[in-house]
Amino acid sequence: MIIRPPSEADSIILQVTVGCSHNKCTFCGTYKDVRFRLKQDEVVDQDIDFAATYCKRQKRVFLADGDALIIPQRRLVDLLTRIRRKIPWVNRISLYGNAKSVLLKSTEELQELKNLGLDRVYMGLESGSDRILQNIRKGADAAKMIRAGQRVREAGLFLSLTVLLGIGGTEFSREHAVETGWVVSAMSANQIAVLTLMLLPNTELYLLEKSGKFTTPNQEEMLRELRLMVENITISRAQFQANHASNYLPINCRLSRDKAMVLTAIDQALSGEKRLTPEYLRAL
């Protein structure tokens, strides 16, 4: 299974790793039975050659799978150089990176990748709460997430963060909303993408809910969590999108310009004035 961000729907998807280098998050079932590995250069080159022949109208490349930034620097430089040589019309290369893989690279190394065409790094923050990050075994605390995000920005790269409504359960919903707002702001993200938790049967978090040790917030609680999170985001300029298929209330705006409008929309949804996405239409 290849996972890519919604904004990469029209990109050339070039799989350069298989699986996720971390693969321990309690809420994610995507790569549970997949051992992480780097794909052989020969195989990747065949895919690049295919793209050079059949993807001449696509100007973006997304490097899959779960954490392509973990590839050693010299090998990643060689890969971007080959893409640049064989698919010269591509004007944007993007990939997933977690806090560990970002911090393994210096600002200068990230700038080297930028000079070769890397434009955008997608990071799964999920939550700004240290308690929740530890509970879901994310592999980094808030301070590490902030350092990683700031390094991406210092290198001149576009930083897109994913946060996950409901990941703290009902018990830590307020903590999750407030502290995520703070951390997102400290990271100076260019884009904030909000998803809403949907439990998968092959995950530890699903089993925790079944045993009564975790309670997923209901629709109203998710909206209140979203509202509190938006209230605590103080970035002067960022794309803010809650238009993923998992969300109850689609939002696509700019913060802080549209902050009052977003809060009003959430209030209208809470009062029943605005129609929400029904459960049967929600998806991952």
The tokens for 193 are 């993408």
The tokens for 275 are 């129609």
Q: Where are the beta strands (DSSP E) in 112-251?
A: 118-126, 158-165, 191-196, 238-241
| Region 271-276 average pLDDT | 92
Distant-in-sequence, close-in-space partners of 274: CB < 8 Å, separation ≥ 6: 249, 265, 268
The structure's pTM equals 0.95
> Which fold, 6-281?
TIM Barrel (3.20.20)
Residue 79's pLDDT is 98
Residue 243's pLDDT is 83
Average pLDDT of every residue of the chain: 95
Residue 201 CB neighbour total at 10 angstroms: 8
Band (284; pLDDT cuts 50, 70, 90): confident
Distant-in-sequence, close-in-space partners of 106: CB < 8 Å, separation ≥ 6: none
Give the sign of the dihedral formed by CA 204, CA 66, CA 74, CA 114. negative
Indicate the SS3 state at residue 281.
helix
Residue 136's pLDDT is 98
Residue 279's pLDDT is 85
The share of the chain scoring above pLDDT 70, in percent, equals: 100
The tokens for 226 are 């979203």
Q: Token match 């909303």: residue?
A: 177
> Helices (DSSP H) in 41-106: which residue ranges?
41-54, 73-86, 99-103
Residue 283 CB neighbour total at 10 angstroms: 9
Residue 193's pLDDT is 96
Distant-in-sequence, close-in-space partners of 53: CB < 8 Å, separation ≥ 6: none
If you count them, how many residues does the chain have? Answer: 284
CA gap 101, 174 in Å, rounded: 29
CA gap 112, 92 in Å, rounded: 15
Residue 83's pLDDT is 98
Over the stretch 111-162, which tens digit does the pLDDT of each residue have?
999 999 999 999 999 999 999 999 999 999 999 999 999 999 999 999 999 9
Residue 282's pLDDT is 87
| Region 246-271 average pLDDT | 95
**Are 170 and 215 spatial neighbours (Cβ–Cβ below 8 Å)?**
yes
CA gap 243, 14 in Å, rounded: 25
pLDDT at 76 exceeding the cut of 80: yes
Distant-in-sequence, close-in-space partners of 278: CB < 8 Å, separation ≥ 6: none
Residue 225's pLDDT is 98
Residue 3's pLDDT is 81
pLDDT at 66 exceeding the cut of 90: no
